[in-house]
A and B are shown apart, each in its own frame.
Chain A
Amino acid sequence: MLDLAIIGGGPAGMTAGLYATRGGLKDVIMYELGLPGGQITQSSEIENYPGQKEVVSGMELMSNWPEQSKAFGLQHSMNEVSSITKSNNIFTIQLSNNDKVQAKTVVIATGSKPKKAGLKGEEEFFGKGVSTCATCDGFFYKNQEVVVVGGGDTALEEAIHLSHICKTVHLTYRGDKFRASPTTIKKVNNLKNIKIYFWTIVDEILGDNSGVTQINIKNTKTQKKEELKLGGIFIFVGRDVLNAPLLQKDGSFLCETNSSGEVIVNLKMQTSVSGLFACGDIRIDAPKQVVCAAGDGAVAGIGAIAYLS
C-alpha cells in the first residue's frame, strides 16, 4: 500500500511529491500520463516567477522540476487515474489500465483544461484551425491572420505571442475592459498588428475539409457583422477543472466541491474527506499561478506527512 498517491504532475503535484518524500514518506507515486510539467509548459513567457529574473518559457521554467521532485524517492507512473474511492480509511486508485492501487493518503492536483467557448464550428474544427495553445500551433500561421477570443491574461499573452509570428491578430472580446494585468494590456495596445474588437463575439467558425477558412464575428453593440477570411482561431475563455477522478458511481464527488466543480479546501489543502488533499488549479480560489500551485503542493505534502503520523 502506498503512503501517498499524487494525481497530477504539474507544479502542485511535483512539489507535493518533493515535500512528502523529503519529509520521510517512502512509498509515494505521482500519476501523470507523460512527462511531468503541467499546463505551464504551454506558456510562452514567464516573467513573474520569483527568483527567475530572466524571462523564460514555461518549458524552460519546468525543465528541472521533474528531476528535482524525484530526488528523494518520488516515483512517477505514466498511468491515467480514472477514479479515487475511499472505504475503511483506505483510498483505492483505479487506473485506466484497469489496475487498482491502494493508498493511505491522496493528493489530487490534476489542474484544469481549456474551456470550450461553445461556438458554432468549434468542435468540428478543433485541431483543424481551432486551437487553445498558441505556443504549440502559432507556427502553422506564420505571416497569416488569426483570431484570438478572450480578454483575460492568457488571451492577451497568447495574442502577444501570436503577434510575433502572424501578420495580424484579430483580438475579439465580448466586453470593453480587458481582465488582464495592466502590464499585459499596455503591451497589447503597443503592438500595431493586434487589432482589437471590443463588444465582439464569434458568430460562427466556417471551413472545409482542409479546416477553418472563415470566422464570422459580430459587434453586439452595433450588430455590425464581419467575415474574416482566415484559417486560425485561438480560444482562451477560461478553464475547467479536471475533477473526473473524484466522481463516484452515484454521480457525486468524493469530497465537497463548489458549483464550478472546484474542490473545497482549507488553508491546509485538506478536503472534506480526511486524508484527501487538493492543491493547485483544481482547488477553490486558485490564483492559477505556478508559484501558488507549488506553494499549495508544499502545504499538501506536509499535510500528508502530518496525517500519517
Chain B
Amino acid sequence: MSKYIELTNDNFETTTANGVSLVDFWAPWCGPCRMIAPVIDELASDFDGKANICKVNTDEQQDLAVKFGVRSIPTIIFMKNGEKVDEQVGASSKEVLSEKINALL
C-alpha cells in the first residue's frame, strides 16, 4: 500500500509542481481530520503513480497554512502543475475526493 507524501516548506513546491495533487491540511488535535485520515491513506494507494496525495501538518507547517489561507481544518486543496484549482473545507467521502482528482487528471 502506497503512503501519502508528507509536505513541508522544503518539498512543497517540488512535489506539487507537476501533475495533479491533493493536499490535506490537518492537525493532530482535529477530530474531523483524524476521521478522514484512512480515506487519505486509501486515496494514496488508489492514485499511486497517477496523482500526488499529500498531507500538511498545520501545527508544524504554519507558513504553508498561512500561504494557502487555511483557517479551518481539514481543508483539502487540489492543485494542477503547481497551481491551486479547487478547495474543500471539512470532511468528505472518498468518492467526492476521487471524483475531484479524476476530473483534473
Contact = CB atoms under 8 A, between A and B. Distances in A.
Contacts of A39: 31
A294 to B, nearest CB: 17
Given A136-B27, A139-B27, A96 B35 contact: no
B35 A37 contact: yes
Contacts of A40: 31
Contact of B39 (A33, A131, A139): A33
B21 interface: no
A34 interface: yes
A139 B32 CA distance: 15
B89 A78 contact: no
Contacts, number: 95
A114 B30 CA distance: 16
Interface stretch (B4-12, B47-55, B91-99): B91-99
B50 to A, nearest CB: 18
Given A127-B72, A128-B71, A137-B73, A34 B91 contact: yes
Interface residues of A, number: 32
A131 B89 CA distance: 10
Interface string B40-82: 0010000000000000001100000100011111110000000
**Most-contacted residue by chain B among A139, A211, A232 (CB, 10 A):** A139
A35 B94 contact: no
Contacts of A127: 71-72, 75, 89-90
Instruction: Enumerate the 3 nearest inter-chain pairs by beta-carbon distance, A residue then B residue, closest first.
Output: A41-B31, A127-B89, A34-B35
26 contacts: A34-B34, A34-B35, A34-B36, A34-B91, A35-B35, A35-B36, A37-B35, A41-B31, A41-B34, A57-B29, A59-B29, A78-B39, A78-B94, A79-B93, A79-B94, A127-B89, A128-B69, A131-B71, A133-B32, A136-B27, A136-B29, A136-B33, A139-B29, A139-B58, A140-B72, A211-B71
